[in-house]
Chain A
Amino acid sequence: MSDALTEEKRSQGFWAWLTGLANPTRFMALTDAIMPFIASITVLALAAGLYMAFTAPEDYQQGETVLIMFIHVPAAWLAMMCYSVMSLSALGTLVWRHPLADVSLRAAAPIGAAFTLLALVTGSLWGKPMWGTWWVWDARLTSVLVLLIIYLGIITLGRALEEPTQAAKALAVTTLIGFVNIPIIKFSVDWWNTLHQPASVSRFDRPAMDAAFLYPLLIMALAYMLMFFTLHLMNMRNEILRRRIRTLKIRAAEAG
């Protein structure tokens, strides 16, 4: 009877696969297998992207500072993508109660905060020669700063709450509330008159950027994305190990 049920469940494709991953041991085995692969692709893509970025021609207006773009723009994209991944994980926690969803949310938060900080710092370094100022309180910059504060708030909350299931739910609810900021960041350059330039790659007609800059940028974006997934999986594995250690400690304390 139960065998027939599990067989039926297994035949449901992707969802069944996702549910199967709820078993941390299976997840660890899977990531163990793909980790060297994905890590080496990341290194290759990053090397290729950086090489293409450094050999890209100088911009006729910006000169060499255009190099900052290849670091800055993908970091900003990833800052938003990481938050979206966290929001999906939050849904996973609240709706499907998938045990790995919380692990994924927790593991993504510091990475997202790092990408956001990188975008802010490189943007500031780029702003000084281009706009003549390190910082302006314009809508894009301010909303990304708010994103950083939200990331930091989520990390702090995760550290403050001790009871794991409750922490998972608190983090999920907070993450979903904070998601309102993501569309604000995306459309801030269209809604308000900002010093920050509007989007020049993701447009419906063809991108307003020369191919000499566009291809290195896209490769860099791909490399960043792979880097995110590598770091995310590594951090998830760490989080699982941390939880196992915690359980072992509790058991030891109860026994001793």
Chain B
Amino acid sequence: MTSLFFRELKIAWRSGGGALTGVMFFLAVVTVFPFGIGPDLNTLARIGPAVLWIAALLASLLGLDRLFQLEREDGSLDVLLMQEWPMTLVVGIKCLAHWVVTGLPLVLATPIFGLMLNVPPIGIAAAMLTLLAGTPAITLIGAAGAAVTVSLPRGGLLIAILVLPLVIPVLIFGVTATNGAMFDPDPFTAPFMILCALTLFSAVAGPLAAATMLRHSAD
């Protein structure tokens, strides 16, 4: 299992900056917002957490179609299916590796983009924490979408359409928790706990659904 994890990391690293592309897209989306809304710093600080979350959400949807597609094309997916490991676990490991390559860089890049949006330090810290807890859920739910569209040559856009409605709760509670840390009367702990619960739930349901689909698509 560990070897599978490191294999995934190596492949992602060698195939040329999947992580960097995600962060660049993150930067691009964040940059577009002030142009649309106007450079007023107070407004930006108010909506900053939401912008960070939406940008991170879109950036994590980007690379999802790569999750199983290359493996399917070169046949290594069938090899993985024939292992004695349960497929759900294999999918889980693949999601973890995918998140380390695409999700974690977004979390690490958040402080810089938060400063650009004039988000106060406490808000940046909260955004990092909620993104750290919430972006795995996006990858895990996205895995099911990626598995369903695995046989499509251009499934990327379709994955986004299928996955977006399902990750709306993650976005809601992520932004609510971040705002809760920044603005006093709103609570932080309760929405943050629900966010963690969503991630834990999708850690079970996502790989399970994806593994079911992959097993079916093989026969």
A residues with CB within 8 A of B: 94, 146, 149-150, 152-153, 156-157, 160-161, 163, 166, 169-170, 173-174, 176-178, 180-181
Contacts and interface: CB of A to CB of B under 8 A. Distances in A.
18 contacts: A94-B216, A149-B161, A150-B165, A153-B161, A156-B158, A157-B148, A161-B151, A166-B151, A166-B216, A169-B213, A169-B217, A170-B148, A170-B213, A170-B217, A173-B209, A173-B216, A177-B144, A178-B165
Interface string B165-202: 11010000000000000000000000000000000000
Task: Give the top 10 A-B pairs by smallest Cβ distance, nearest first.
Answer: A169-B216, A170-B148, A153-B162, A146-B165, A153-B161, A149-B165, A173-B213, A150-B165, A174-B148, A166-B217
Interface residues of B, number: 21
Nearest to B216: A169
A45 to B, nearest CB: 33
Interface string B142-166: 0011011101100100100110111
B213 A152 contact: no
| Interface SS of B by simple majority | helix
A157 B213 CA distance: 14
Contact of B166 (A157, A160, A178): A178
A181 B148 contact: no
Contact of A156 (B161, B165, B168, B209): B161
Interface string B3-26: 000000000000000000000000
A152 B148 contact: no
The main secondary structure of chain A at its interface with chain B is helix
Contacts of B165: 146, 149-150, 153, 178, 181
A177 B166 contact: yes
A177 B161 contact: no
Nearest to B217: A166
Given A153-B161, A156-B161, A173 B144 contact: yes
A152 B151 contact: no
A177 B208 CA distance: 11
A77 B4 CA distance: 47
A157 B216 contact: no
Given A153-B161, A160-B152, A173-B212, 10 more contacts: A146-B165, A149-B161, A149-B165, A153-B162, A157-B158, A166-B216, A170-B213, A173-B144, A174-B162, A177-B209
A112 B213 CA distance: 24
Nearest to B166: A177
Contacts of B145: 174
A204 B150 CA distance: 46
A94 B215 CA distance: 12
Contacts of B151: 161, 163, 166
A180 B198 CA distance: 13
Contacts of B205: 177
A146 B168 contact: yes
Contacts of A163: 151
Contacts of A94: 212, 216
Contacts of A153: 158, 161-162, 165
A156 B149 CA distance: 11
Contacts of B148: 157, 170, 173-174
B76 to A, nearest CB: 19
Nearest to B215: A169
Nearest to B150: A170
A166 B205 CA distance: 21
Nearest to A93: B216
Contacts of A166: 151, 216-217
A256 B155 CA distance: 33
Nearest to B160: A153
Nearest to B201: A180
Nearest to A167: B151
A149 to B, nearest CB: 5
A157 B162 contact: yes
Residue among A150, A163, A177 with the highest chain B CB neighbour number at 10 A: A177
A138 to B, nearest CB: 13
A124 to B, nearest CB: 20
A174 B161 CA distance: 12
Residue among A149, A156, A170 with max Cβ neighbours from chain B (10 Å): A170
Nearest to B169: A184
B142 to A, nearest CB: 11
